[in-house]
Amino acid sequence: MKYYLNQLLKFICFITLLVFYLQDAAAQDIDTTFHKKDGKEITAKDPAYFKRIIRPVSDQNKKYYVVEEYYINNNTIKLKGTSKDAGFPFSFQGQKSQFSFQGQKSQFYENGVLKSLENFSEKSELIDSAYYWYPNGKPELTVFYPSSLDKRGNRVAENPIYVAYFDSLENKTLADGNGLICLREGGDDNFEKGRMVNNLREGEWKGLADNETFVETYKKGKLLKGSKIKENGERINYDAKTYFAQPEYPGGIYKLLTFIAKNYEYPKEAVKNGVNGLVEIDFVVDRDGHIEDIKVKSDLGFNTGEAGIRVVKMLKKWKPGILRGEPVRVGYTLPIRLNYVR
């Protein structure tokens, strides 16, 4: 199965290492990459479907990244947004103002028509209204993402409200969270369609995910059972317990954090130059639980990224992640925060 989770599951594990110096990290340059239609990065421009440009921006001691994508065929805009991460999949976000959270991610069809308009909070959660259109410019879906403030003043996202959905013939089949709807996520061919009652899935839902068809049954938004057919014709049945599970490190998160803290070897040049900040290492837990595709997402120079790769290579075999009843490859970003005192 060619399924790769669209959203990286992040371990927010900030490891404190005590040494004796302080220093700011260096800025990153503009980065341009070329990609196929499915998003896979390639080295040559010629067969590419789109190009991605990432530009760092510093604002009040915070670093963001402006992400722009352009179709190779006609050089028209494909995507534009602001991310707190420099690597895919991006954590799109808005910038906090005195009155509200503001920030938009826009996507466009190759013909220049606006495809979607979404608003994100600083936590990269969808907030406020989101709009989606068909390639001919006709409206498809409007969703409202309510949010509230917790006791600490942090904005917390709540369950979405599906305001309206129109089919390709401009028939309004859903209003105020009730009716038939088709949701699209990931590739343009991926979809899920079924009935919603009070903004919750109800009854039979059908869909397609990376060339695999599936049928699922829901009651008040909860999955009761599901069945999918793979490209080779194999049928896999699943339920709520086997629908999705994150990879697990032996002994859990605490064991992982303890191992990283004990085995991260601080490079001598980093100590000498008093480096301080965040190192991020990307890796994938494959279907067998092995770690692969290890790379530095961001580092502080002076071999701090290489030291992160070395410690990740030392990790034990994981229990693989599960999606729709079978193991899948899951990508992680492991942040390692390096703090120093004199």
- The pLDDT confidence band at residue 7, using thresholds 50, 70 and 90, is very low
- Per-state percent for the chain, helix, strand, coil, to nearest 5: 10, 50, 45
Rounded Cα distance between 121 and 148, Å, is 12
Domains of the chain listed by start with CATH number:
253-338 (3.30.1150)
pLDDT of residue 92: 55
CB 8 within 8 Å of CB 89: yes
H or E stretch at 310? helix 304-313
pLDDT of residue 115: 96
- The pLDDT confidence band at residue 152, using thresholds 50, 70 and 90, is confident
Q: Mean pLDDT lowest for which of 13-17, 40-44, 51-55, 59-63?
A: 13-17
Q: What is the residue-averaged pLDDT of the chain?
A: 84
Give the number of other Cβ atoms within 10 Å of residue 93's Cβ.
22
Q: Is the pLDDT of residue 252 over 80?
A: yes
Q: Is the pLDDT of residue 11 over 80?
A: no
Q: Which residues contact 254 (CB under 8 A, 6 or more apart)?
A: none
Q: What is the pTM of this model?
A: 0.75
Q: Is the pLDDT of residue 61 over 70?
A: no
pLDDT of residue 91: 56
pLDDT digits (tens, 9 = 90+) for 202-235: 999 999 998 899 999 999 999 999 999 999 999 9
Based on the number of CB atoms within 10 Å of its own CB, is 254 exposed (0-12), middle (13-18) or buried (19 or more)? exposed
DSSP 90: P
Rounded Cα distance between 185 and 196, Å, is 17
Share of the chain above pLDDT 70, in %: 83
pLDDT of residue 60: 60
- The pLDDT confidence band at residue 28, using thresholds 50, 70 and 90, is very low
Instruction: Decide the pairing of beta strands 191-197 and 178-183.
Output: antiparallel
H or E stretch at 129? strand 126-133
CB 150 within 8 Å of CB 156: yes
pLDDT digits (tens, 9 = 90+) for 288-307: 999 999 999 888 889 889 99
pLDDT digits (tens, 9 = 90+) for 89-146: 555 555 433 222 347 899 999 999 999 999 988 777 888 999 999 999 999 999 999 9
Q: Is the pLDDT of residue 193 over 60?
A: yes
More confident residue, 12 or 143: 143
Distance of CA 236 to the CA centre of its chain: 26
pLDDT of residue 66: 86
Q: Is the pLDDT of residue 147 over 50?
A: yes
Share of the chain above pLDDT 90, in %: 54
